[in-house]
């Protein structure tokens, strides 16, 4: 078990977080699974990977932001039912925060709203990846949405998110 930041681990035994075994999409030569579905190799009762020594690179390399020290100690993804993953791609070369929903409804809760407000408030877009329905992208307040960004979002079937007023 790896420790990147003191006090932050994926856990052990029955206190192990396996949230990313549901949220990540895996596509390797001999095995694939969609995002949002439990991995068939995850033993849900014992909270462990049955093929741990041979798990795919996606699993080996994934480190959620909580594991890297972001957020409070009690906000491990299996407790919040949300996984945060800072990501750089395409239009968002400076990065955006992906939020994977581990159980349905978690993205609609106060915790998600509070984090989204906090992160967009310091200038980083937040992308919601719900278990069902369309993805939503929340922009920092006062960001001007260029036409090419709007067109790209439409092409990717991503809605523009709007937070309820505080
Ligand atoms: S979601 Fe984070 S804390 Fe949970 S198992 Fe994956 S990497 Fe570990
Ligand atoms: S292969 Fe193992 S570590 Fe990877 S998602 Fe499946 S159960 Fe989790």
Does the C-beta of 111 come closer than 6 Å to ligand 1?
A: no
Number of domains in the chain: 2
Sign of the torsion formed by the C-alpha atoms of 112, 114, 119 and 120:
positive
Q: Which comes out higher in pLDDT, residue 4 or 54?
A: 54
Q: Which domain holds residue 22?
A: 10-61
Question: Which of residues 61, 82, 101 is at a domain's end?
Answer: 61
Q: Cα–Cα distance between 5 and 65 in angstroms, integer?
A: 11
Mark whether 141 and 101 lie in a shared domain. Answer: yes
Q: What is this structure's pTM?
A: 0.93
Same domain, 84 and 158: yes
Give the residue with greater pLDDT, 93 vs 55: 55
Question: How far is it, in rounded angstroms, from Cα 97 to Cα 99?
Answer: 6
Ligand in closest contact with the CA of 41: 2
Please, what's the b/e burial string for 76-110 (b: 16 or more CB within 10 A of its CB; e: otherwise)?
bbbebbbbbbeeeeeeeeeebbbbbbbeeebbeee
Residue 4: inside a domain, yes or no? no
Which of 21, 42, 69, 76 most suits a substitution to test ligand 1, by most atoms within 8 Å of the C-beta? 76
Check pocket membership of 39 for ligand 2, CB cut-off 6 A: yes
Report the distance separating Cα 32 and Cα 23, nearest Å. Answer: 13
Within this chain, do residues 86 and 127 fall inside the same structural domain, yes or no? yes
Residue 82 domain-assigned (yes or no): yes
41 and 77: one domain?
no
pLDDT in tens, 70-91: 999 999 999 999 999 999 877 7
Q: Examine the domain organization and report whether 98 and 119 are in the same domain.
A: yes
The pLDDT tens digits of the residues spanning 12-52 come to 998 999 999 999 999 998 899 999 999 999 999 999 999 99
């Amino acid at each position: 078990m790896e420790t990147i930041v003191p006090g932050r681990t994926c856990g052990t035994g029955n206190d192990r977080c396996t949230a990313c075994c549901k949220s990540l999409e895996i596509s390797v030569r001999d095995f694939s699974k969609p995002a949002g579905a439990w991995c068939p190799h995850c033993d849900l009762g014992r909270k462990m990977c049955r093929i741990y020594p041979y798990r795919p690179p996606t699993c080996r390399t994934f480190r959620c932001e909580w594991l890297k020290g972001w957020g409070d100690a009690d906000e491990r993804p299996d407790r919040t039912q949300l996984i945060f993953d800072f990501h750089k791609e395409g239009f968002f070369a400076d990065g955006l925060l992906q939020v994977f929903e581990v159980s349905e409804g978690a993205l609609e809760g106060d915790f998600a709203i509070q984090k989204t407000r906090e992160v967009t408030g310091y200038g980083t877009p937040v992308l919601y990846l719900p278990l069902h329905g369309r993805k939503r992208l929340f922009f920092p307040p006062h960001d001007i949405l260029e036409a090419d960004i709007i067109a790209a979002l439409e092409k990717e079937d991503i809605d523009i998110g709007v937070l309820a007023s505080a």
